[in-house]
Amino acid sequence: MSRGAWFAFLPSVIFIAIWIRPLSVFLLAIAILVIALQPFYPPYLRERLRSFFIFTDTSSIDRKIIWQAGWKMFLSKPWLGVGLGAFMFNFKKFVVENYPSGIVYAHNCYLQMASEIGIIGLLTFLSILFSFFYHGIKILNTHDKNYFWYILLASQAAIVGYCVQMGVDTILYSLDLGMLFWLIMGIGVAAMKCLEAKDKKAVPC
């Protein structure tokens, strides 16, 4: 997996572990073991692990340049942005001289949204995320564990992973990954409705 995928995977697992105690104990034991065995890792693996936290590789440097240009683009039209899908057309105006053209995405969903649809658009998206997590966590806290409870937990954990990886990649701008994001969120909302319906003994799920 890529570095971004690992960064997304770990918070998702931790989120699940918070709700399932046996898993949290198991993960803690694994983490201690991984740290304890670090001196015995082969050099290439140690270097790979080091690159996770020290961003000096070419890919990371390129991202920094792209993010700087994206931030300048956002500041040029902070409220409404430069237009949906217009990041690639405006990139050359804000990037350092002689940087290769052909950049399509900002490698950061939040920055790309901010630059394309402005603060208003970004806050609208973030409000959807906040509502999903707020109501989901509230229901997880107040309902017994059953089939729909675990579906809701899994969907919340998956969206946690998405939220983390969106900070280093533009996965929502990929057709298949973007569709999967909204599908998972929809499944989570459906699980919430089923859990609430069981409380009210309304429509059976």
Domain that holds residue 155: 3-199
Of the two residues 166 and 2, the one the predictor is more confident about is: 166
Task: Give the C-alpha separation, 87 to 81, whole Å.
Answer: 9
Please count the other Cβ atoms lying within 10 Å of the Cβ belonging to residue 202: 11
- Within a domain: 204: no
Structure tokens, 150: 């675990």
pLDDT at 49: 63
Residue at 205 is within a domain: no
The total of structural domains in the chain comes to 1
Whether residue 179 lies inside any domain: the answer is yes
Residue 82: band (very low, low, confident or very high) from pLDDT cuts 50, 70, 90: very high
- Residue 146 is inside which H or E element, if any? none
Give the pTM: 0.86
Q: Are the beta carbons of 7 and 164 closer than 8 angstroms?
A: yes
Tell me the range of 25-39, 96-110, 126-140 where mean pLDDT is highest. 126-140
The Cα-based distances of 67 to 46, 59, 157, 162 in angstroms read 28, 12, 27, 19
Instruction: Establish if 30 belongs to a structural domain.
Output: yes
Is residue 152's pLDDT more than 90?
yes
pLDDT of residue 7: 79
Other CB atoms within 10 Å distance of the CB of residue 24: 15
Residue 205 has pLDDT above 70, yes or no: no
DSSP label at residue 39: G
CB 166 within 8 A of CB 172: yes
